[in-house]
Amino acid sequence: MRFRPCIDIHNGQVKQIVGSSLRDMGDLATENFVSEQDAAFFARLYKEKGLYGGHIIILNAIDSPYYEATANQALSALRETPGYLQIGGGITADNAWRFLDAGASHVIVTSYVFKDGKVNYDNLRKLLNEVGKEHLVLDLSCRKKDDKYYIVTDRWQKMTEVEVNASTLDEFSSYCDEFLIHAVDVEGKQSGIEVELASMLGKWGQLPTTYAGGVHNFEDLTSLKECADGKLDVTVGSALDIFGGNMKFSELLEFLRK
């Protein structure tokens, strides 16, 4: 289990938010933390610690008046750390190389591929042809409904008809290099991990997969490792002291090294 650091950017600032609270209308979100530092600061910190494979998430829609300020924050972080970080948020086949050329190792995609509640295979193949499997991460962030997990899109606001299960993972593994999966119902709430989801993902375990959502102490990390048999990487956001939380960043790195 590796630690995958994150940089979430909203309205031009590095933030930690409650994922389920995000709304495009008015560019609103419930904020856990707003940093005085810019995205490049966190990118340099992660590079200094030798942390690869973290992700930047642009939390504004492309038509938001804040989008360019948010994207510019992301681009500055990528230029500081070429090859270290992945980026997601509004990625399409038309703009992916803007971020790859700036230094992203991968682009992370959800809404462009999962549109109108279904899989848009034309867009998926177009993106695959444009950037290659080796540069593509599929974000299968999901919410629970009727005891099943379904992919959510458009910054976690729209539920799709696409279930996250072993068959889905098998199908999409031929298109991408990794998966990123936020458990949206607990994202940013520091309320504990989604054990059922993490167990299913760990049992599948065919591609590098990063779990995010709900981690708020070291017991959660132990639980995640045990229920997923150590096969999932993990993101910790709001709980970290660098984002205003109680878990010390240095202790997290040492904990996972052991």
Look at residue 19 and tell me whether its pLDDT is greater than 60.
Answer: no
Whole-angstrom distance, CA of residue 243 vs CA of residue 157: 24
Look at residue 257 and tell me whether its pLDDT is greater than 80.
Answer: yes
149 by Cβ neighbours in 10 Å (0-12 / 13-18 / 19+) ranks as buried
pLDDT tens track for 93-146: 999 999 999 999 999 999 899 988 899 999 999 999 999 999 999 999 899 999
132 by Cβ neighbours in 10 Å (0-12 / 13-18 / 19+) ranks as exposed
pLDDT the model gives residue 52? 94
Q: What angle do CA 177, 180, 183 make, to 5 degrees?
A: 160
Share of the chain above pLDDT 70, in %: 93
37 φ, ψ to 5°?
-95, 155
Look at residue 221 and tell me whether its pLDDT is greater than 80.
Answer: yes
- In sequence order, the β-bridge partners of residue 107 are 87, 136
pLDDT tens track for 166-210: 999 999 999 999 999 999 887 656 678 999 999 999 999 999 999
| Strand pairing report for 85-88 and 106-109 | parallel
Whole-angstrom distance, CA of residue 237 vs CA of residue 226: 20
Residue 100: strand, helix, or coil:
helix
Q: Would you list the DSSP string of 106-144?
A: EEEESTTTEETTEE-HHHHHHHHHHH-GGGEEEE--EEE
Whole-angstrom distance, CA of residue 104 vs CA of residue 112: 18
Q: Please, are residues 56 and 7 in contact by the beta-carbon 8 Å criterion? A: yes
Going through the chain in order, the beta strands assigned E by DSSP cover: 6-10, 13-17, 31-34, 54-58, 85-88, 106-109, 114-115, 118-119, 136-139, 142-145, 148-153, 158-163, 178-182, 209-212, 233-235
Max Cα separation, the chain?
45
Q: In what order do the strands lie in the sheet with 142-145?
A: 142-145, 148-153, 158-163
pLDDT the model gives residue 15? 85
Look at residue 18 and tell me whether its pLDDT is greater than 70.
Answer: no
Dig out the tokens for 191 from the structure. Answer: 């309320």
Distances (CA, A) of 69 to 47, 59, 91: 23, 11, 16
pLDDT the model gives residue 189? 63
pLDDT the model gives residue 222? 95
Could you tell me the domains of the chain? 6-244 (3.20.20.70)
